[in-house]
Structure 1
Amino acid sequence: MAALYNRINNEELKQLMLQETEPRTTLSFYNYFHIDDPKAFRDYLYKHLDELSVFGRIFVAHEGINAQISVPSNNFEAFKTFLYSIEPLNGLRLNIAVDDDGKSFWVLKIKVREKIVADGIADPNFNMNTKGKYVNAKEMNQLLESPDTVVIDMRNHYEYEVGHFDRALEIPSDTFREQLPMAVDMMKGNEDKNIIMYCTGGIRCEKASAYMLHKGFKNVFHLEGGIINYAQQIKKEGIESKFIGKNFVFDNRLGERITEDVIAKCHQCGKPADTHTNCANDGCHLLFIQCSDCAKAYDGCCTVECQTIVQMPYEEQKKLRAGIDKGNQVFNKAKARLRPRLGEEA
């Protein structure tokens, strides 16, 4: 029986992916449906997807599946045939990446989680089957024209920073579980408004719409397939994009360009920029926005201190970061007001 997990060094796999010449298609999909045995379902998926050379990150839980993957283009139809052979996933919408170089993932990881989206909801009466109404790109644009519409971005602050819908409200938080009660508080007094929720691929805003209905709101909508599907629709139908800038994605690309507008700024020099990067110092790995000039000046690092470290011999770098949990650090503009701009002296 084939191993149901990866056994090769992660960095080696990344280099192998970068050397691939066969084109790949990056896509995402999700579905809320009950899975009796997530572990068995996880192993079943791994066996078949590994045989098709699928890379990516998939979460499985009792409440469903959430996947971001890349598939060799010549295996795409075989992948669809397998996926659609699973009854609850038959005919499921696949969000094909907008700005894709095929270099999004380099290993297949399928993990069993308590939930496919960590939401902090403990109320046993909450029901994902009662959710907001889907809207497509054309309907989204029409609703945005109405003064009775409130549009809420259900993504993290660093996603909103590089691109968002016109008039969209930001919920300034690092986590979805914090955003849900914040969205309810923000909308108090607007119970008669049309509330549209959106996110990257639809999974977060679908759950958020169900939560808003659970909390007593009536006219709740969510963007079907999120920003990714919206971008495909406006391109296909030739309609105006109400989304401005770049769509942050959680893979090696770190972003898909939707419009040419650059609405963010470099976190080091303040010039217009919307390219996210992780600090080249592996002991830091901070996610931040860096322009090309600062990338060159700081060797891809967030501070002079980190730049000094990456210039050290590799073994010395390893000693410095021993025992450090770099976690999932992101640059937060709100927190940055309490400290100097990245790269400046304190």
Structure 2
Amino acid sequence: MQLYNTLSAKEREKLIEDAGKDRLTISFYKYAHLGNPEVFRNHLFIAWNELDVLGRIYVAHEGINAQLSVPADNFKKFKQHLDSITFLKNVRLNIAIQQDNKSFLKLKVKVREKIVADGLNDTTFDVTNKGIHVGAEKFNELIEDPNVVLVDMRNHYESEIGHFKNAITPDVDTFRDSLDIIEQDLKNHKEDKKLVMYCTGGIRCEKASAYYKHKGFKNVYQLEGGIIEYTRQVNDKNLENKFLGKNFVFDHRRSERISDDVISNCHQCGKPCDNHVNCANEACHLLFIQCKACAEAMNDCCSLECQKVHNLPFEEQKRLRKGQKASNKIFKKGRSQVLKYKK
């Protein structure tokens, strides 16, 4: 019984090209109490591998977090399989605004301690006791209310290229960093302010909404389906779009443009730019913002040092990388000292 990938990313990419069929990029999540995540993981892999599903799926005792792509002509079967699982019946699916057949190139279903790393060890905290979900229209009304505090629950490199106007955008590297910072900053407004949160697809602010209710906040709201579903509703219902710039996404596309506003800068020259790239030096692979001019001048690298390494013969690069661990700066997502105009 096959429970793992047998094809490389390059082999899968060629199969997708040869098939010539459209694929749908989809994300969804569901908090639930799962007794045996390992058995559930294996069940999903077997079923979805047969449907040619590709993506990154995390399963834990607290539920499932899935980002994937599925052939368009298999979508009906995929949805039927989801509906056959009791806690996933009619689960909301966030379908990407901008599609890319190569958004994912492998099927990875992994068992994790949690579907969203939060650093919390409070056994009295119930993640299913969530805040009030609101759609795009109600969200637009709420964020104009002077009695509302709007908080972006994403990391700095996400909000740097796009966020809602008037939102608080915590300068954090991880979701777990933001929880205590926000609680501390708003500790005097647990009863007199409405706390409204948003994130990419809803999973982080749903956990945050349950956490802040647990911490005593009385009026907690979250944007249903996150920025992805908000954009869909704005387009479908012809609502005012209050999001500025791009929505960062965690697949090969890296972002979806929501408005024409460019609110960030190239980390190398400072000119307006919101294009995230990874440093071409495989020993670095730092995520940063780079304009086309700098990409050409720097050979897609983040620094002169990386450019020199990238220009070496491939076998020499491999020799230099041998035995070396990835630099921690890759996890700083644009905070590296080699970047002159970083946030």
After TM superposition, is the score higher than 0.5? yes
Residue 183 of structure 1: CA displacement?
A: 1.1
> Is this contact kept in 1: 2:303–2:338, CA < 8 A?
no
SS at match of 1:189: helix
Q: In structure 1, how many angstroms separate the alpha carbons of the residues matched to 2:318 and 2:15? A: 24
**Structure 1 partner of 2:25:** 26
CA-based RMSD of the aligned residues comes to 1.7
1:94-125 deviations in Å (ceiling 9; x for gaps) = 00001122221011000000110111111111
1:193-242 deviations in Å (ceiling 9; x for gaps) = 11101110000000001111111110110111111010111010000111
SS at match of 2:189: coil
**Structure 1 partner of 2:58:** 59
Q: For residue 25 of structure 2, what is the amino acid of its counterpart?
A: T
Q: In structure 2, how many angstroms separate the alpha carbons of the residues matched to 1:53 and 1:324? A: 35
Q: In structure 2, how many angstroms separate the alpha carbons of the residues matched to 1:73 and 1:229? A: 19
**Structure 1 partner of 2:101:** 102
**Structure 2 partner of 1:220:** 220
Q: In structure 1, how many angstroms separate the alpha carbons of the residues matched to 2:170 and 2:266? A: 21
Instruction: Rate the CA distance shift 1:4–1:340 in 2: closer, same or farther, 3 A.
Output: closer
**Structure 2 partner of 1:272:** 272
**Structure 2 partner of 1:85:** 84
> Is this contact kept in 2: 1:303–1:342, CA < 8 A?
no
Residue 331 of structure 1: CA displacement?
A: 4.9
Q: Bigger shift: 255-264 or 322-331?
A: 322-331
Q: In structure 2, how many angstroms separate the alpha carbons of the residues matched to 1:326 and 1:57? A: 21
Residue 340 of structure 1: CA displacement?
A: 5.8
**Structure 1 partner of 2:177:** 178
Q: For residue 190 of structure 1, what is the amino acid of its counterpart?
A: H
Q: In structure 2, how many angstroms separate the alpha carbons of the residues matched to 1:18 and 1:199? A: 32
Q: In structure 2, how many angstroms separate the alpha carbons of the residues matched to 1:172 and 1:41? A: 36
Q: In structure 1, how many angstroms separate the alpha carbons of the residues matched to 2:39 and 2:195? A: 38
Instruction: Rate the CA distance shift 1:148–1:295 in 2: closer, same or farther, 3 A.
Output: same
**Structure 1 partner of 2:293:** 293
Q: For residue 161 of structure 2, what is the amino acid of its counterpart?
A: V
Residue 324 of structure 1: CA displacement?
A: 2.3
Output aligned runs, 1:35-50, within 5 Å: 35-50=34-49
Q: In structure 2, how many angstroms separate the alpha carbons of the residues matched to 1:250 and 1:332? A: 13
Residue 189 of structure 1: CA displacement?
A: 1.7
Residue 9 of structure 1: CA displacement?
A: 2.7
Q: In structure 2, how many angstroms separate the alpha carbons of the residues matched to 1:39 and 1:130? A: 25
Q: In structure 2, how many angstroms separate the alpha carbons of the residues matched to 1:115 and 1:235? A: 33
SS at match of 1:281: coil
1:288-309 deviations in Å (ceiling 9; x for gaps) = 0011111111111111111111
Q: For residue 140 of structure 2, what is the amino acid of its counterpart?
A: N
Residue 72 of structure 1: CA displacement?
A: 0.4
Instruction: Rate the CA distance shift 1:139–1:122 in 2: closer, same or farther, 3 A.
Output: same
SS at match of 2:114: coil
Percentage of matched positions with identical amino acids: 53
Residue 260 of structure 1: CA displacement?
A: 0.9
> Is this contact kept in 2: 1:288–1:330, CA < 8 A?
no
Instruction: Rate the CA distance shift 1:288–1:18 in 2: closer, same or farther, 3 A.
Output: farther
**Structure 1 partner of 2:261:** 261
SS at match of 2:188: coil
Q: In structure 2, how many angstroms separate the alpha carbons of the residues matched to 1:332 and 1:111? A: 24
**Structure 1 partner of 2:242:** 242
Residue 149 of structure 1: CA displacement?
A: 0.7
Paired residues in the alignment total 340
> Is this contact kept in 2: 1:288–1:331, CA < 8 A?
no
Q: Bigger shift: 201-210 or 320-329?
A: 320-329
Q: In structure 2, how many angstroms separate the alpha carbons of the residues matched to 1:249 and 1:140? A: 21
Q: Bigger shift: 101-110 or 58-67?
A: 101-110
1:76-100 deviations in Å (ceiling 9; x for gaps) = 1111011111010000100000112
Q: Bigger shift: 219-228 or 97-106?
A: 97-106
Q: In structure 2, how many angstroms separate the alpha carbons of the residues matched to 1:11 and 1:179? A: 37
Q: In structure 2, how many angstroms separate the alpha carbons of the residues matched to 1:251 and 1:57? A: 9
SS at match of 1:30: strand
Q: In structure 2, how many angstroms separate the alpha carbons of the residues matched to 1:295 and 1:215? A: 46
Q: In structure 1, how many angstroms separate the alpha carbons of the residues matched to 2:291 and 2:74? A: 37
Q: For residue 184 of structure 1, what is the amino acid of its counterpart?
A: E
